[in-house]
Structures are given as C-alpha cells and as structure tokens.
Structure 1
Amino acid sequence: MSGSNFEQLSRSELAILLPELLLCGHLIDRSGMAHTIAAFGREGMTAVAIEEWQLASPVYTRRMQRAFGFTGDDVVTIFKGLQLDIGAPPQFMDFRFRVDDRDHGEFWLDHCGALLDVEPMGEDFVVAMCHDIEDPTFDATALATNPHAQVRPIHRPPRRPADRKPMCAWTVTIDAAHIPPSVPPNADRMASTVAAGLPLSDIDLDDEGRSDYAGPLLSDLRFADFSKSALVRMADEVCLQHHLLTLGFLIALRTRLASTAALELGRKQFAGIAGLTAERLRKALNLGDDPAALATVLRLHPAWNPLSYTGVCVTEAEDGVRLTIPRDSGAESDGAWPAMIDADHLAPIDAMARAVNPRFAAHTVDSTDRELTVEIARAEQPFRESTEVALTRFSTGAAFAFTDRGIPLPLTVV
C-alpha cells in the first residue's frame, strides 16, 4: 500500500505533530522497562536497554541523514541527527550544542525528562541510565556518522548539588586514533529487517518550505519551517524509529526469554505506549471523542505507520471504527507491533481507543490468514485505564507541554 496517512494533515498540523511523535518514541522505554525490571531486575533491564538502542539508533540515524540531506562524518552531522532522534525529543530532552571545529564539540542538557523520571527511583537507577546505558548507546549513535567518534562525559548525574544545571554535559571528539566500538551482536538481524531498508516517498523539492537540513546546525529545529512534503516524510521516518526500537527490544528479549514470554512482554510494552500516544495525539490536534476522532487518531498512530510498512486500513463505520490488519506486510514479516495483534490479543487497540473515549471497546469481526478485522464501538459503561497505560503515565513526559521558542539560531564554529 503506497502513500502516507500523514498527507491528510495540513503543514501546520504536521508541525505540531512531529515533536509529539518524537516524544512518544522516547516514552516507549517508559512502557517497556517497567515490565523488564519485573522480569530481569535493574541490571537485566539495563542490558536490554543498551542492546535495543545499540541495534536501532545507527539504522534510523543513517535513514534520517539520507532523507534530509545532511550526510557527513563530522560533529555537526552527529548533532543534527540527535535533533531528529526519538532518543532526544525536543525540549523534553533539551540538548544544547557547541561546535569547536569539525571534529570537536560539546552538548549539554538544560532539561532531561528521563532523569526526572528516574531520580525518584534512587541513585542506582540514575547510574544505570546516565552511566551504564548512555556510555555505549551515545557511542553507537555517533558511530552511525563516524566510527572514530567518541562521546565522553564532562559531568553527569547523580547530580550534586541536587538541582545542578545543566543536568549533564558531554564532549564529542572524532580522532582517527580512536578504536571503533565492536559491532553489537544481532546488528545483522536488525539490518536485514524490512523496516531498516523500507523505501519512502521522495520529498517534493518544489513544495513551499525547507526540504532538507543542509546548511548550518540550528539551536532548535522549528518544524513549521519545513515543507509539508518534508514533514510527511519526517513523520513516517519517526514512526519507523518507533518500530526499529521495538524490534531491538524484542531481539534483546528473545535472547533472554522463551519466544512466548518475550511476545507477552512485548504486548505489554505495546499496550502502554499505544494508549499514552493516542492520548497525546488527540490532545495535540484538539480532537473530540467520537468515532471520527478515533479514526483520525488511529490513522496517525505510529503503530500503524508508515502505511507502506503496515498496510493497516482504518474506516469509519456507522457507530464506530473498523481496523483491518493485513498479514502480508513488512511489519508482519518483521514481527513489529501489528504482528502482535491477533483475535485474542486486542489490548493495545483498546488502549488507543479508550484514550479517545473510555467507553470504546474492540472486538474481532473476522480473522483469516490474509487479514484481521477489528471493530471498535461504544460500550454502555466506561472502562478503567489499563495497568500498562498507568505504568507508562509514570513518566513526566505523559503531561509534558511544548513551547514556542521562536526563530532558531545557527550555531557556527566558536
């Protein structure tokens, strides 16, 4: 199935949606890691987080570089990639940058929503995130641009004093003498997924607005400056980041759990982030709570995008919405989110629907080898929020509000 579900939105609506998609991609871990801690403990959760980000981030970083014309091997290219990465959603993970020359730079976080999420859990969890996870995963992200890049801390949490700002600071150095980190196990499995190589529609260079991110590094990306065509492509790429991170999560789980147990944990992750994402999309676009609003939320939900990857069809029925999930898609082949849904496992769809209206309920209409058809209709009474969504809501990102920062400044070499 060709085309993009995001084409239905205006340029201004897409500019609102992009930071939401980046933030919700970041919150995938808030959904998955609570269950991972229960299964493996803190150290096991840390190992899973390292593996999933190491596998996913180099793949989607290179995709975004190619799509938006900022391929290179310097520090500026690394920093631009971070600005379009679900690991660093704007403002919630408030990365600030300084460029000294092509091979040297610094970044620091004036606000780190991830840190605020884990500080109440104690110093062991702070060290796990800011030391054990960040060291190998920052290098893995930089590796996508230059194998000789190294990211090293200037200072980082635990914070002393407790309100220290910036929350952390890092150097980025490119040096041919640096020995590249080893390629993580299962990198070949990730590279061979349909998601990793999925072609998406070209950006229309004649469309009004920016078509790429060539030129100087900007202090912030203002999505409203990009053309509609570029924003459609960007939205589809960010949705692929969601899928690639989840595929990395599943690969990490399957090296530690039996197949059925890994799938069960993956479904819990899916349900938690599915509901929270649907809620944020609905609020961002000022939608109602009727079937038309639900249909819009479902068409824009990262779980069902890009359309060429999932083939999922959303149609409005007389008093509800019908969702058709084909069984011959790239997402199905990869075992991504759509593949986790079957006639007996509709919890993620319920979570999405009840984020629009707590009375919505999903039920299977038809299930064959070719497709699964699910209908969502109103029940007489509202349903309670699921445990999976409630756990994900633990993050400060659940209620985070973006602000307009005005015209971004170009960052030149100091």
Structure 2
Amino acid sequence: MSGSNFEQLSRAQLATLLPELLLCGHLIDRSGMAHTIAAFGRTGMTAVAIEEWQLASPVYTRRMQRAFGFTGDDVVTIFKGLQLDIGAPPQFMDFRFRVDDRDHGEFWLDHCGALLDVEPMGDEFVLAMCHDIEDPTFDATALATNPRAQVRPVHRPPRRPADRKPMCAWTVTIDAAHVPPPVPPNADRIAATAAARVVLADIDPADEGQSDYSGPLLSDLRFADFSKSALVRMADEVCLQHHLLTLGFLVALRSRLDPAAAIALGRKQFAGIAGLTAERLCKALKLGDDMVALAMVLRLHPAWNPLAYTDISVVEADGALQLTIPRASCAESDGSWPAMIDADHLAPLDAMARAVNPRFAAQTVDSTDRALTIEIIRADQPSRESTEVALTRFSTGAAFAFTDRGIPLPLTVV
C-alpha cells in the first residue's frame, strides 16, 4: 500500500485544503454541464447528473462512515455524511441541521452556490436541479445509511420571492413502512470498482487532535480540530469521491454515446475541473508560480490521488518537472482520470500547469505499455486559458472564499 501525498503538509495546511477539495469535487458537475447540455439537451443533462450521483454517493458515503467511525442508521449519521460529501461542500452549500429524534430531522440551506449558478439560466434549469435531480439523489445518499429514510421538501426553488431565505428546506424521516427506492441500474459496476474497494492507511488514534467523528453532530466541521492523521485520510477519501463521481459520469455517458465520443466528453470535463482545481489549490496554500509550486499542486491534485489508487509520480529537480502515469494502477483499470491521459491528450495536464503559470505546458517524453512520462516545459509566450476551464468559471464556486466561523456547536435532539 502506497503512502499519501498529503503527509507532506502540516496539520494547518491540511485544514485549509479540505474544504477546497470538497468544493472542487462539487464543481466537477459545473465543468461537465455545458458539454452534456450540448450533447443531450437540458433533459439529457439532468438524466446524466442523476445517474452519476446515484451511483457514486452511496459508495463514498459508506467509505467515509467507516473511516471516521460514525456508522449507524439514524438521522444524525445521514447528516454527518453530508458534511463530508462533495455534494455538500461547506459554506458554498451551507447546510444547517436540526435533529428531532433518531428518525426525524430537518436541514435547510442558508446559502446554495449551486442555485446561484443556475438561477440566471431560468426556472427550467432550477426545476431540473432542485426537483428532478435532488429528489432521487438525496434519497440515494440517505440510502447509504438507511434504506427506509426519505428526504422530502418543505419548500424549494424556484424562489418566491426571488431572495427567499433559507433557499430550501427538507425533512428527513426514517420509517419502517417506507418502501426503499430501487437500486439504480449499474450500481453494482461502481461498487465493484477499485476506487470503491481501495484500502487506505488507518488513522492513528494517538495523533494529536480529533481522530474520528463518533461524537455529537456539530453545526459545522472545523477541520483544524482533527488530527493530522485524520486529515490525511479525509483528503484521500475526498479525492476518491472525485474519482467515483467521474466513474459514474462515464457510465452515464457510455450508455448514451459510442466509446470514443464518451471519452472525448469525459476529457473535456476533466480539463475544465483540472485547471480550476489547480488554481484554487495554488491560491489556498499561497504557492508561487515556479516549477516547485507546480510540483506541489500536482502532488496534491485530486486527479492524481490517493497514491494507493493512482501510483502517480511527480519529480521536480533543478527547474525540471516530470509526471509519470503507470499503466498498471487501480485508476487505470477503472478508467478514471489518469486513464484519460495519453501522448496525444494532454489538455487536462496543460490546464493544471497553466493554472500555476500560463507559460507552462505539457509534452510527452516517453509512452510505453508500462507508463506515460510527461515533462512540463516553460514556453516563450503565455497560453490563453482553455475553453474548458473558462466554461467551468461559470460557477460562483470558482471564486468562492471560505471564512472562519469559530467554534462549532453540538446539535442535540430538539
């Protein structure tokens, strides 16, 4: 089992990085939206979004529950899972919770960045997201904890009046009389992936700080309260969420497109989120614009993590940088992001490099059945931002800033 790239960071740096990783996972969909709308129209885009989240979220939710010791079948367990889910990144998707008893609770969103992204597109797109997509995907997330859980709206957009707060509100009810939702087609395919089954290093319970989330539900997660060991594991798990959502996206594409067209669309989504994520990581950690900074960004980028899944190597020395993608990794066998890179398709890597310095560019050094080696060079002239990254900037999440909310409060039964 490989180590973790995140071990090189301090506890404070990891606490800064975690909300960034959660937000960038959420923005994967923003990267793909324009391309799926172009390919399938609004209705088809909605169907793809439903399928990818339904397939991925139960798998990664259960992984996070096991890793952080909050397995259970009650409302509190569901809410804790949402706080560590790329579908609900903190503050950008500002979930607030109330627990009535073990089987009843409510959540509402004081701020919903996803809604602010689609409201300018009109009510049809709002209805697609807040009704058509949320109904089956909220239930799929709850299903990971209890198949008898149902998530139902109290109110939701389109907002009337236009500035209504909270932006939406939902009840969560667990009842033995509830009929569990059907298991989505292809759920077994995602559950059988290497991403679903990869083993990561255990959290050291002796490390200073919180090692799990077995205590009370908190109003917010303050990542600085967790131990370094816990934050390393959390970062690796969140990166797996990125990959699992991507694998769900590819399953949805392949049922609608021929293989070549599906991978071409997948590469466009990858390039858009790759560049925006690299930019946010670089800014969050206050890195520079040289090869040393790029090496750090690449080692921490969710496309290349966790190491146990990707086995990616990034080597920087004397102003030169090489990235090696082995062809025998778990990520390659799954067909996730690393498998989309070959000697003729380096756009996602170009996007990452240019996010650190617009003069950086990727070129192939060697390509064999065993590995692909790519070098980052410094060009004479800067390159323009790619269309894929520019489209991803459509989201307000591209420039979203996190704030310190202070000490979180435990939420007890009302």
Secondary structure class of the residue paired with 1:266: helix
Name 1:164's counterpart in structure 2: 164
Letter in 2 for 1:306: P
How far apart in 1 are the matches of 2:209 and 2:298?
28
Name 1:91's counterpart in structure 2: 91
How far apart in 2 are the matches of 1:17 and 1:377?
27
Contact 2:292 2:319 in 1 (8 A): no
> Displacement, 1:317?
3.7
Name 1:62's counterpart in structure 2: 62
Name 2:327's counterpart in structure 1: 327
Contact 1:98 1:107 in 2 (8 A): yes
> Displacement, 1:155?
0.1
Matches within 5 A, 1:171-186: 171-186=171-186
Contact 1:273 1:389 in 2 (8 A): yes
How far apart in 1 are the matches of 2:130 and 2:320?
45
Letter in 1 for 2:99: V
Q: Which runs of 4+ in 1 moved over 6 A?
A: none
Deviations 1:256-290 (A, max 9, x none): 00000000000000000000000000000000000
Name 1:131's counterpart in structure 2: 131
How far apart in 2 are the matches of 1:330 and 1:196?
10
How far apart in 2 are the matches of 1:103 and 1:38?
42
Letter in 2 for 1:26: H
Q: Does 1:204 align with 2:228?
A: no
Matches within 5 A, 1:262-341: 262-341=262-341
> Displacement, 1:194?
0.1
> Displacement, 1:377?
1.2
Contact 2:62 2:144 in 1 (8 A): yes
How far apart in 2 are the matches of 1:310 and 1:81?
25
> Displacement, 1:381?
0.3
Name 1:258's counterpart in structure 2: 258
> Displacement, 1:49?
0.1
Deviations 1:361-382 (A, max 9, x none): 1000000000000000110000
> Displacement, 1:320?
2.9
How far apart in 1 are the matches of 2:365 and 2:289?
23
> Displacement, 1:198?
0.6
Matches within 5 A, 1:19-30: 19-30=19-30
Deviations 1:57-112 (A, max 9, x none): 00000000000000000000000000000000000000000000000000000000
Name 2:145's counterpart in structure 1: 145
Contact 1:279 1:355 in 2 (8 A): yes
> Displacement, 1:34?
1.0
Letter in 2 for 1:253: L
Name 1:118's counterpart in structure 2: 118
Name 1:53's counterpart in structure 2: 53
Q: Does 1:34 align with 2:31?
A: no
Contact 1:54 1:141 in 2 (8 A): yes
- TM-score, normalised via structure 1 length: 1.00
Q: Does 1:74 align with 2:88?
A: no
Aligned residues: 414
How far apart in 2 are the matches of 1:162 and 1:36?
28
Name 1:194's counterpart in structure 2: 194
Contact 1:21 1:238 in 2 (8 A): yes
How far apart in 1 are the matches of 2:231 and 2:274?
22
Letter in 1 for 2:230: A
> Displacement, 1:33?
1.3
Name 1:407's counterpart in structure 2: 407
Contact 1:320 1:378 in 2 (8 A): no
How far apart in 2 are the matches of 1:370 and 1:34?
35
Secondary structure class of the residue paired with 1:397: helix
How far apart in 1 are the matches of 2:289 and 2:100?
50
Deviations 1:137-164 (A, max 9, x none): 0000000000000000000000000000
Contact 1:5 1:305 in 2 (8 A): yes
> Displacement, 1:319?
2.7
Letter in 1 for 2:112: C
RMSD (Å), alpha carbons: 0.5
Contact 2:267 2:340 in 1 (8 A): yes
Secondary structure class of the residue paired with 1:62: helix
How far apart in 1 are the matches of 2:367 and 2:223?
40
Q: Does 1:352 align with 2:352?
A: yes
> Displacement, 1:321?
1.1
Name 1:107's counterpart in structure 2: 107
Letter in 2 for 1:370: R
Identity %: 87
Deviations 1:159-212 (A, max 9, x none): 000000000000000000000000000001001100001100000000000000
Secondary structure class of the residue paired with 1:411: coil
> Displacement, 1:318?
2.9
Letter in 2 for 1:13: Q
